[in-house]
Amino acid sequence: MTQARLTHPMTPMSREHEEAASSADFDDFWEQTLAEAHSFELNVRIDRIDSPVKTIDVFDVSFSGFQGEAVKGWLRKPKGLSEHAGSVVEFVGYGNGRGEHIDNLLWSSAGYAHLTMDTRGQGSVHSPGHTADPHGSGPSVPGFASRGVTDPSGYYYRRLIVDAVRAVDAMRSLDGIDPSRVALFGASQGGGVALAVAGLVPDLAAVVAKVPFLCDIPRALTLAESGPYMEIVKWLETHVHREHEAMRALSYVDAVNFGPRATAPALFSAGLRDTVCPAPTVASAFDAYAGGKELRIWKYGGHAGGGSTEDLEVLRFLDAHLG
């Protein structure tokens, strides 16, 4: 694995990011947010489904996320899984939902209990979702990245990050799961959410953030050429006078600001040809991350990172930390 720093001489961190990132109320904001979340019963429901998959048991899961609202997920467990099993909680990419129960059997095939969290309001791009987002917002560009972007409390990603924290709580509450052997995995949006959760949830076994979104957002807004960052760029183009409000709200979900709180061993990846989540933004989050860390750079990789070759490396990383 390679530990490296990627820089871009033309895109220093913006003044807005410096001010917001140093805000004394960042910790208070998330402590209050999580206190509110934990005031609701977790209400985990788990129902085995009839499936033609022969080697894996599949369960339809729901739990209470933001403001106690029900969030769906799939739990996949290898048949005969031992007690106190290691597990992986996965957060999916932008526009996607939990998919069908036969999707994404890699982690359970590797011997881990695997919870795929649905993504509120999303799930109509590559994989279907089954969880609504009942909250409205002010004017936004089509998509999710600019929904409520002037209000830290009303911003879409605050709700999604709370859901993700509660997904870890739900996994840890299940019979047969070792709460000390829970790892996080996410790519793109899921990777950014995983890094946020790593800064909010203690005692995680490992974190994998593949080409993560929500990293050094001010720099990303100047470097990205496609994908969800462009929704924010378009919003700022229209609402020029509200840039400071937007940058302040975005700072509360930026992985750079969660990094100093995170201690779990982490594996990051970046593609040097990634136009969606540019490599220098990933490097900023990597530099800020306080735990043990590795950064895998894919010289010719775009937003797919290293593809299946990277998946093999992730499996070895998880095996080293989950056993």
Domain spanning 19-322: which superfamily? Alpha/Beta hydrolase fold, catalytic domain (3.40.50.1820)
Where would I find the beta strands (DSSP E) of the chain? 45-48, 56-64, 70-78, 85-91, 113-117, 177-187, 206-210, 266-271, 293-298
For residue 83, the model assigns a pLDDT of 79
Active site residue 303: yes
Examine the pLDDT at 197 and tell me if it is beyond 50: yes
Active site residue 274: yes
Q: Using a cut of 0.85, tell me whether the model's pTM lies above it.
A: yes
Question: Which of the residues 188, 251, 269, 284 is marked catalytic?
Answer: 188
pLDDT confidence tier of residue 140, bands split at 50, 70 and 90:
confident
| Mean pLDDT score across all residues of the chain | 92
Question: Which of the residues 146, 274, 284, 321 is marked catalytic?
Answer: 274
Burial per residue of 299-310, b for 16 or more beta-carbon CB atoms within 10 angstroms, e otherwise:
eebbbbbbeeeb
Question: Which of the residues 17, 114, 303, 321 is marked catalytic?
Answer: 303
Beta strand 56-64 pairing with 45-48: antiparallel
Helices and strands of the chain, counted as H and E runs: 11, 9
pLDDT, tens digit, for every residue of 58-95? 999 999 999 999 999 999 999 988 778 899 999 999 99
The amino acid that residue 145 corresponds to is A
Percent of residues, the chain, with pLDDT higher than 90 = 85
**Dist CA 221 CA 142 (whole Å):** 17
Q: What is the mean pLDDT of residues 116-134?
A: 90
Break the chain into its structural domains and give their ranges. 19-322
Active site residue 284: no
